[in-house]
Amino acid sequence: MTRSKTIVRPPKLGPGSRVAIVAPSGPCLEPDDLARAVELCERLGLVAQPGSHALDRLGYLAGTDAHRLRDLNVALRDPDVQAVWCLRGGYGVTRILDQVDYGALDSAPKAVIGYSDITALLQAITATTGLVTFHGPTARQAMPSFTRRHFEKILCHPTAAGRLEHLPASTDVLVPREPRVLTLTPGRAEGRLFGGNLALLQCLIGTPYMPDLRGAILFLEDVNEAHYRIDRMLAHLRMAGALDGVAGIAIGRFSEVPSDGDGGLGLHEVLSAHLGPLGVPVAYGLPVGHIPEQWTLPIGVRARLDAAAGELEILEPAVS
């Protein structure tokens, strides 16, 4: 596992900041995905710069490896770009991870934003360069006020974000919100924040891009994974030693979980089996993951988890 370098903060985003829109993983799912991403940038006061191959498609990929890599590296090398915002996740970034121009970020640090499959890119950048990256909404999706508030709080202000707020209780009985945050193991812990999609973290094991989680606050989320698959991935992380020395664990949402079909274990039982014996604070149900209303989490900065209260606090600035 890689011990991250000294923390480097990208410049804050503000009115007129130029943002490269790239698709290093899966293709756009709707014809207007790119147009909506450009419109979202405009609403945020940002200037969108779509990659040349952002609308390409090759099966389940957003074009060839060469074209996806080219768009990403062009954006990373451009000194006029303040942020690289991924259109979506899907699959594909791990195919090009070893060819990314990480060195370009040494001379021109910039915010890199996304989640899901983009977890691998975020972790690789932070592990390789020490640059803070951002697990947050993709550029193509709608941005509710809760999501926008946290996006701007983290990316637009060079101050510590402090305690992140929870979703307010829903007043819509037809569309209830997810249950409140639950405590698996009470306690408080501080450490640098790492994590993202569970499946992608698992696939980084044995590569130079897997973060060293000793003393860290680890956050996890996933989508469309049956409980037995979550069980298997956590078992792999545990047996590979990836969880050794972790300070605390903040679990987001495991959404769209398919039925195991044969009366499998519940999520609480799966989490308890693998994370309970670690003896560190663990809370789950935080607004992180494949959900419309989500936090933007800065990877690499110090954070504090209060598992009993279900609170996560960002202790230092994520941008300069």
Catalytic annotation, residues: 116, 221, 290
Q: Alpha carbon 187 to chain centroid distance? A: 24
Alpha-carbon span 200 to 188, nearest angstrom = 26
Query: Phi and psi dihedrals of 240, rounded to 5?
Result: -80, -5
| Phi and psi at residue 280, to the nearest 5° | -115, 160
Angle, CA 299 vertex, CA 149 and CA 230 arms, to 5°? 100
Alpha-helical regions (H) of the chain = 33-43, 65-77, 104-107, 119-129, 145-155, 198-204, 227-239, 267-275
Measuring CA to CA, which residue among 62, 23, 19 is closest to residue 42?
19
Cβ distance 40 to 139 under 8 Å? yes
Q: Are 182 and 284 in contact (CB under 8 A)?
A: yes
Is the separation of the CB atoms in 174 and 180 below 8 Å?
A: no
DSSP state of 244: T
Token output for 89: 């996740």
Beta strand extents in 166-316 (DSSP E only):
182-185, 188-197, 217-223, 248-255, 282-284, 297-299, 302-306, 311-314
For the chain, the first-to-last Cα distance in angstroms comes to: 28
What is the dihedral sign for C-alpha 299, 304, 308, 311?
negative
